[in-house]
Amino acid sequence: MSIFICPVCGEKLEVSGKSYICPNRHTHDMAKSGYVNLLLSKHGSTVHGDNKFMLRARQEFLEKGYYKPLCGEVCETAKKYANKNCVLLDAGCGEGYYTTNVKAKFDQSEIASDIYGIDISKDAADMAAKRKCGIKFAAASVFRMPIMTESCDILLTMFAPYCGEEYHRVLKNDGIMIMAIPSENHLWELKCKIYDTPYKNEVKDYELDGFEFLGSQRVSFEMKITEKSDILSLFSMTPYYYKTGKNEQNRLNALNFLETQADFEILTYKKTAKD
């Protein structure tokens, strides 16, 4: 079974050998790693999403366990709302760190699941698929998801762009959306060391059209980073990296030790009828 649909005609895709094929015979071949590219050709010919440098930096940082407290709480939240034969979609899955940990939590808890991850970056989808963890990954945009309507019990979005229309469409009635966002104090000490006038993150109103807000869980913890390469990896996986001037980059490169707060919120929503 697959919840992927053809990006060309919208018909359901079925696996045939190493390809996904729709009833209209549009064929989408799997890469060697196992992911499928479901971006339309106009998207597939150019680079979208995070590049290999950012992806590798994030993978190296996350695999060292720096964000383990956040990952653990996300997994527990997903487990809380999972039903029998749970279909979960990670929209904007990146290199698959959170997706694979949720899958491991479900397996450990003997929750039958069918898990999918999509990311607009083909490099991200490729890295995620190379984890070989039984999750179906695809290169696709969250703003035009090749996912069947009302097919998902849970939608997970970890710092990805928000597309309410699509998220609402693919969730089943009363389906659950779990969203992780940086809270106001996230990486505050790092910002103070780099910028002349640092600013705290703005946390917007929780209300979203078509969703009932179920609650927020704050996840805050201190990180002590003693390796210069890890400090650079942390900064490289943030939106600040490409917006930082030469002077600030020099300050960053001078850091050999960093103690900073990680500050997140896990927001949980239930799909409702739209106003």
Distance CA 156, CA 89 (A): 6
Q: Is residue 35 part of a domain?
A: no
Burial 50-70 (b: 16+ CB within 10 A, else e): beeebbbbbbbbbeeebbeeb
Asked if 106 contacts 84 with a C-beta cutoff of 8 angstroms, the reply is no
Q: Is residue 13 part of a domain?
A: no
Of residues 45, 33, 5, 35, the one with CA closest to residue 21: 5
Of residues 187, 215, 221, the one with CA closest to residue 201: 187
- The CATH number of the domain where 152 resides is what? 3.40.50.150
Q: Is residue 55 part of a domain?
A: yes
Q: What is the token pair recorded at 227?
A: 């390796």
Distance CA 187, CA 179 (A): 19
Q: Is residue 221 part of a domain?
A: yes
What's the pLDDT score for residue 43? Answer: 44
What's the pLDDT score for residue 52? Answer: 86
Phi first, then psi, for residue 36 (nearest 5°) are: -120, 140
**Chain center to CA of 221:** 21
What's the pLDDT score for residue 138? Answer: 98
Q: Is residue 28 part of a domain?
A: no
Read off the pLDDT of residues 199-231 as tens digits, 9 standing for 90 and up: 998 888 899 999 999 999 999 999 999 999 999
Distance CA 260, CA 12 (A): 47
Which residues, in sequence order, are CB contacts of 117 under 8 Å at separation 6+?
Answer: 89, 90, 93, 96, 99, 125, 128, 135, 136, 137, 138
What's the pLDDT score for residue 48? Answer: 62
Q: Is residue 34 part of a domain?
A: no
Other Cβ atoms closer than 10 A to 115: 23
* The amino acid at 270: K
What's the whole-model pTM score?
A: 0.94
State the residue range of the domain holding 176: 46-271
What's the pLDDT score for residue 113? Answer: 96
Q: How many domains does the chain have?
A: 1
Decide: residue 18, CB within 10 A, 0-12 exposed, 13-18 middle, 19+ buried: exposed
Distances in Å between the alpha carbon of 125 and those of 37, 51, 55, 93? 9, 12, 10, 8
Q: Is residue 3 part of a domain?
A: no
Decide: residue 195, CB within 10 A, 0-12 exposed, 13-18 middle, 19+ buried: middle
Q: Is residue 41 part of a domain?
A: no
Other Cβ atoms closer than 10 A to 231: 21
* Beta strand 27-29 pairing with 211-225: unpaired
DSSP classification of residue 147: B
All residue ranges of the chain with pLDDT < 70 are 41-49, 275
